[in-house]
Structure 1
């Protein structure tokens, strides 16, 4: 049930740290991901690499996955960390071998790719015990920021979809506009 993608012509807006960290902070991402320096991570819907840059120093390898080549162009111009590879792909068809990833993160993009096919693909590419972290706009929010409420999901909807795809939920939080979920691949 994914919806529209972010307008790449407005990519610079995604670099506003005060605004971005207002909804999901660097600290909670690090905590939820539980990274070590030998992990391979995919940032799903990486956009300009704002959150990719936050996690790259703490991982062995990072894949910045986005469907828009224009976002990768912006990120290249900004400067991509040495341990980060840009991957143009949708979440429903990731170019990784089974069990290749230790971690995957979706920051404010779950609503763009949410489907049974995408979640099945994440279960396939995440190693058993691998973590998936979803931070996104909540359908319980006001809709003043982010996508329209009709394009969002509640934490209950996200956790149910993740469970159906084979993930065990470890943490769920709903805030005024966003949700944060940490799940483990139980395959």
Structure 2
């Protein structure tokens, strides 16, 4: 299940606001993140920075993490906000200190990295009480959009994995194709 990486050659598709906001809107993402203005946030699998750009005006610092340097190249062409740092890394080995980050967001990327090791790493870098927002394609969907169904997780599977990794689920919602989880690090 899961663990494919989005084709960087199709990066322009990630800039389709109408399609992206059907999955999770800017307002919903910011509601779930509940930024304080002084937060250090990591965007996991940031791609072209589409959602990073939505978060950046509301926090002190955003670390846009993507495993593909080609995605960062696309983001640079668009223009990267001053408070965004581009980080080329996998989720299993994040270059942050223990408890350094206040929050993390994963928008339509959880299925690409969801392993016990990656979730343990997220728990390591988030401060106690740090917020994790996951919006992703649901295994309960039709598969018409997004990755194939066999690469997806259900909201229940994701919530269970996050709980086992040291997160408390604060909010959960399932839609026809996606789910949203908001969790805090214990």
TM over 0.5: yes
1:59 aligns with 59
Query: Partners in 2 of 1:120 and 1:106 — Cα distance?
Result: 15
> CA-to-partner distance for each residue in 1:142-175, whole Å, 9 max, x for gaps?
0000000000000000000000001000000000
Whether the aligned pair in 1 keeps the contact of 2:2 and 2:150 (CA below 8 Å) is no
Could you tell me whether the CA contact under 8 Å between 1:2 and 1:115 is conserved in 2?
A: no
* Distance (whole Å) between structure 1 residues aligned to residue 149 and residue 2 of structure 2: 13
- CA distance, structure 1, for counterparts of residue 86 and residue 5 of structure 2: 17
Cα distance in 1 for partners of 2:60, 2:28 equals 20
Residue 2 of structure 1: CA displacement? Answer: 4.2
1:4 deviation in Å? 1.2
- Residue in structure 2 matched with residue 122 of structure 1 by the alignment: 122
Give 1:22's aligned residue. 22
Residue in 1 aligned with 2:182? 182
Match of 1:157 in 2: 157
Any conservation in 2 of the 1:41–1:62 contact (CA below 8 Å)?
Answer: yes
CA distance in 2, matches of 1:103, 1:125: 9
| Number of residue equivalences | 186
Give the 4+ runs in structure 1 shifted more than 6 A. none
1:17-43 C-alpha deviation (Å, 9 max, x unpaired): 001001110111001001011000000
With normalisation by structure 2, the TM-score equals 0.99
- Aligned: 1:48 with 2:57: no
CA distance in 2, matches of 1:32, 1:162: 16
1:78-128 Cα deviation digits (max 9, x unpaired): 000000000000011000000010000000000000000000000000000
Write the mapping of 1:33-182 to structure 2, written as runs, cut at 5 A.
33-182=33-182
Give how far 1:136 is off.
Answer: 0.2
Q: CA deviation at 1:3?
A: 1.7
Distance in 2 (CA, whole Å) between partners of 1:158 and 1:6 is 20
Return the alpha-carbon distance in structure 1 between the equivalents of residues 112 and 13 of structure 2. 18
User: Does the 8 Å CA contact 1:143/1:149 hold for their aligned counterparts?
Assistant: yes
Structure 1 segments unaligned to the other structure (5+ residues):
none
For structure 2, the residue ranges without an aligned partner over 5 or more in a row are none
What do you get for the CA RMSD once the two structures are aligned? 0.6
SS of 1:98's partner is coil
Q: Deviations over 1:53-72 (max 9, x none)?
A: 00000000000000000000
